[in-house]
Amino acid sequence: MSVRKLKPTTPGQRFRVVNGFDAITADKPEKSLLAPIKKSGGRNNQGRMTMRYKGGGHKRKYRIIDFKRDKHDVQAEVLSIEYDPNRTAFIALLRYDDGEKRYIVAPTGLKVGDKLVSSLENASTEIGNAMPLSNIPFGTIISCVELRPGQGAVMARSAGTFAQLMARDGKYATIKLPSGETRMILASCIATIGAVSNSDHQLLVSGKAGRSRWLGRRPRTRPVVMNPVDHPMGGGEGRASGGHPRSRNGIPAKGFKTRSKKKSSNKHIVERKKK
């Protein structure tokens, strides 16, 4: 994976950094795994704006991703590594021995022709294989981790992220998450071996405001330039600093903890994420 810096033929391209797409091997998605996406533009069923700064954007088709990896003990071959406009990571098209095709989130290092398997029993810890945390060796880099058995992957799914299996105690496994938080998860939850692909995503630079519009983001108004009726940080004569940083609802930002002290899953958190 690599990035490309464009030649500044226009002002918008002067600082633009784009993905090299070296790992991509196909330019057309699998039609049977596509679904339509309906855009709301931030409006509700009455046509009123209920979510600010959303709207527009290029038309997309959703790629149906297999986050559950529930086709057990059937070997699959990687047909292609593809771009997905709906996520930061690349996706891999698999063809199982029985002919079925599925998309998965591609881990780093996965290549066309590789053989993968998802198993509840002992399987080899090769990149792309999926198995319960109870069968994974300590210290292994994992991604696409379930929080509850059978739920499907919900953690460590974005580009370049990974978790690490630290320990096991009884029916629980302890993993270190990308946020730095260490928490216990049921050892029967399934995870994928390897880190998520496209780690260079963090190096990309849009270069111009128009690219945000392509992604469906409308211009965002800074709170300090609003009126007091619109935001707690609005108002004042001239360029007032706006007071303590807080949200539109008055909840402080920058260090204020919003997690409930009574949340039932607090007992599973071994170490909170660093500030």
Confidence check: pLDDT of 258 > 70? yes
Q: Give the model's confidence band at 169: pLDDT under 50 very low, under 70 low, under 90 confident, else very high.
A: very high
pLDDT at site 275: 65
Confidence check: pLDDT of 206 > 80? yes
Domain ranges of the chain: 3-201, 227-269
Separation of alpha carbons 121 and 262, rounded Å: 37
pLDDT at site 1: 64
What confidence tens digit (pLDDT) does each residue in 57-111 have?
999 999 999 999 999 999 999 999 999 999 999 999 999 999 999 999 999 999 9
pLDDT at site 273: 83
Domain 3-201 has CATH 1.10.760.10: no
What confidence tens digit (pLDDT) does each residue in 5-31 have?
999 999 999 999 999 999 999 999 999
Q: State phi, psi for 233 to the nearest 5 degrees.
A: -95, 5
Strands 101-105 and 76-82: unpaired
Mean pLDDT for the chain overall: 94
Separation of alpha carbons 68 and 147, rounded Å: 11
Q: Give the model's confidence band at 156: pLDDT under 50 very low, under 70 low, under 90 confident, else very high.
A: very high
Q: Give the model's confidence band at 2: pLDDT under 50 very low, under 70 low, under 90 confident, else very high.
A: confident
CA-closest candidate to residue 141, choices 123, 151, 154, 128: 128
Cα-to-chain-centroid distance, residue 194 = 15
Q: Which CATH number fits domain 227-269: 3.10.580.10, 1.10.3720.10, 3.30.70.3450, 4.10.950.10?
A: 4.10.950.10
Is there a shared CATH topology between the 3-201 domain and the 227-269 domain? Answer: no
Residues in the chain: 275
Residues 6+ apart with CB under 8 A from 110: 78, 81, 92, 127, 128, 194, 197
Mean pLDDT for 126-155 is: 96
pLDDT at site 188: 95
Contacts 24+ apart (CB under 8 A), 171-180: 172/268, 173/133, 173/134, 174/270, 175/133, 175/142, 175/145, 177/273, 179/273, 180/273, 180/274
What pTM, to 2 d.p., does this model score?
0.92
Any idea which of 95-109, 207-221, 230-244 has the lowest mean pLDDT? Answer: 230-244
Output the CA angle 43-219-91, nearest 5 degrees.
75
Q: State phi, psi for 11 to the nearest 5 degrees.
A: -60, -35
Separation of alpha carbons 110 and 113, rounded Å: 9
Confidence check: pLDDT of 121 > 70? yes
